Amino acid sequence: MTTSSSEPVVEQWDIFEIALRGPQTNNPFVDVALSAEFRFGHRSLTPDSFYDGDGVYRVRFMPDAVGRWRYTTKSNVAELDGVAGEFLCTPAGAGNRGPVRVHNQYHFAYADGAPFYSFGTTCYAWVHQGDELEEQTLQTLAAAPFNKLRMCIFPKDYIYNANEPVYYPYLRNADGQQDFSRFDPAFWHHLEERIGQLRDLGIEAELIVFHPYDRWGYARMAEEEDDLYLRYLVARLAAYRNVWWSLANEYDFLLDAKPMERWDHSFRLIQEKDPYQHLRSIHNGDVRMNYDHSLPWVTHVCIQNSNVNQAQQWRTLYRKPVINDECEYEGNIPLPWGNISAQELVHRFWMMVINGGYAGHGETYLHPQDVLWWSKGGVLHGESASRIEFLRRIIEELPPGGLQPLSDAWLWARMAGGQAGDTRIIYFGAHRPAAWNFGLPEDAPFTVEWIDTWAMTIEQVPGVFQAAAEVPAPDKPYCAMRLHCVLA
């Protein structure tokens, strides 16, 4: 591979951008059609452009293969049509593993093959809080155990969250009304800076496309306005490798404005427009209102449900990865979804994860200035994050492929068992046997460690055990047993 000094260079899964000057008359957000076909070998990808104000049209592209890519633009505007060029894609640098995909049916992996075990948290409106708090949030995230962040694109109006945002996504008309056909580039520049900062911290940005907590009209735009927004969103942000699309938070609280076929339609539009097929999901409010996650445009199951013992049922029902992204939050606010103990949240993480799924963190402690992590970010006050980090390390040490749940014997409410390669983990929850001899491998000797999920200790039981053996157990709740086969 040769490079010329003038040839643009971008590393794999980073962003290559074409910027072209074009018309500023009428409504450039609506009137101008522009895309670019990027070709590599037999393949081509054709991202749409977006208008970035001041007469500038941009096409962003995330190359997924190392080597020379060539492109040609297509437009309904002559000066933007037929622009051709090329660039060289170089191997990904350290910390760049590409976008996250579904892997092994129920799990995730980066494009480079490294497993992605989802340990997410939630700061819904953090990009609408101003630089000081937003920078503090980034500092907290840099030291926290989370590799995914659920965050709203639109500002949020909700309990503890009444502040006006710094930026608005749309421009205003002469009469001060927002124009849902014209985007404000300042908003989007800010948003993509934050997404890039998350990327640089190794954090997936799970973008919540719609949500019902709204006083500005974003939740109840007309269908063609939604479509324009979705196209703009995908054109601007899909080239960020750490983007996930969460079509909504609590979609069912908006069913009066957006009936089910509009949700389906929006999903399909994103699916059609995103050249990279970033992960797509949708989050329910009422636990009886799961979206039909078996539909083909849903890549994985995202749910709100505190009944974590249903983890295996959700896997079986939808046959996709399951993230319980709101199994209630550690905190002490009056609302029931925001006041479980840290120990209970840690328990729910273990139940989801050992059953071969994933869970999401959130924190809702009362704060004198209403800076609750779950919505505004800031700093963490709770006791669950360190235990979630402990769990994450245990999961990351497992043989690759993700945990497969041990079924049948694990129907009891607050226990879970999972297997990855030659390792099994049995999580006991509120169960605390004095000894254990069920669900042990029958075909090999094995070693046993006891994990205290709250004290964050791991103790090896001396000796090697055979299948029928009774293994001494710590006789206290919230422990797990890790078994390693020791076949010679």
User: Which pairing describes strands 435-436 and 446-452: parallel, antiparallel, or unpaired?
Assistant: unpaired
Q: Which two tokens stand for residue 281?
A: 């999901």
Q: Which two tokens stand for residue 32?
A: 């101008």
Nearer to a copy of itself, 164 or 475 (CB): 475
Strand partners, 484: 423, 447
Closest of 448, 481, 479 to residue 466, by C-alpha: 448
Nearer to a copy of itself, 266 or 364 (CB): 364
User: Which pairing describes strands 119-122 and 100-103: parallel, antiparallel, or unpaired?
Assistant: unpaired
Give contact residues for a copy of itself (rule: CB under 8 A). 286-287, 306-309, 328, 332-337, 339-341, 343-344, 366, 409, 411-415, 428, 430-438, 470, 473, 475, 477
Nearer to a copy of itself, 12 or 312 (CB): 312
Nearer to a copy of itself, 434 or 488 (CB): 434
Q: Which two tokens stand for residue 441?
A: 């491998």
Nearer to a copy of itself, 162 or 430 (CB): 430
> In whole angstroms, how close is the CB of 243 to a copy of itself at the nearest point?
31
Q: What gap in Å lies between CA 455 and CA 109, rounded to an integer? A: 30
> In whole angstroms, how close is the CB of 24 to a copy of itself at the nearest point?
52
Closest of 311, 235, 230 to residue 263, by C-alpha: 230
Nearer to a copy of itself, 67 or 438 (CB): 438
Nearer to a copy of itself, 294 or 332 (CB): 332
Strand partners, 70: 39, 86
Give CA separation, 56 vs 19, 24, 34, 53, in Å: 6, 9, 12, 6
> In whole angstroms, how close is the CB of 323 to a copy of itself at the nearest point?
17
165: phi then psi, degrees, rounded to nearest 5: -75, 165
Nearer to a copy of itself, 185 or 433 (CB): 433
Q: What gap in Å lies between CA 219 and CA 232, rounded to an integer? A: 16
Strand partners, 361: none
Give CA separation, 158 vs 163, 201, 338, in Å: 9, 28, 14
Q: What gap in Å lies between CA 101 and CA 112, rounded to an integer? A: 10
Q: What gap in Å lies between CA 249 and CA 319, rounded to an integer? A: 22
> In whole angstroms, how close is the CB of 290 to a copy of itself at the nearest point?
13
> In whole angstroms, how close is the CB of 176 to a copy of itself at the nearest point?
35
> In whole angstroms, how close is the CB of 475 to a copy of itself at the nearest point?
6
> In whole angstroms, how close is the CB of 415 to a copy of itself at the nearest point?
6
> In whole angstroms, how close is the CB of 418 to a copy of itself at the nearest point?
15
Nearer to a copy of itself, 149 or 351 (CB): 351
> In whole angstroms, how close is the CB of 435 to a copy of itself at the nearest point?
5
> In whole angstroms, how close is the CB of 307 to a copy of itself at the nearest point?
5
> In whole angstroms, how close is the CB of 393 to a copy of itself at the nearest point?
25
Nearer to a copy of itself, 222 or 411 (CB): 411
Strands (E), 264-422: 280-281, 301-304, 322-326, 330-331, 358-360, 363-364, 404-405, 416-420
Q: What gap in Å lies between CA 102 and CA 323, rounded to an integer? A: 12
> Buried b / exposed e across 125-137, counting CB within 10 Å, b at 16+?
bbbbbeeebbebb
Q: What gap in Å lies between CA 31 and CA 82, rounded to an integer? A: 18
Nearer to a copy of itself, 183 or 428 (CB): 428
371: phi then psi, degrees, rounded to nearest 5: -90, 90
How many CB atoms lie under 10 A from the CB of residue 147? 20
Nearer to a copy of itself, 131 or 408 (CB): 408
HSE-CB of 419 using CA atoms within 13 angstroms: 10
User: Which pairing describes strands 49-51 and 56-61: parallel, antiparallel, or unpaired?
Assistant: antiparallel
Q: Which two tokens stand for residue 392?
A: 């994450």
> In whole angstroms, how close is the CB of 328 to a copy of itself at the nearest point?
7
Q: What gap in Å lies between CA 427 and CA 481, rounded to an integer? A: 6
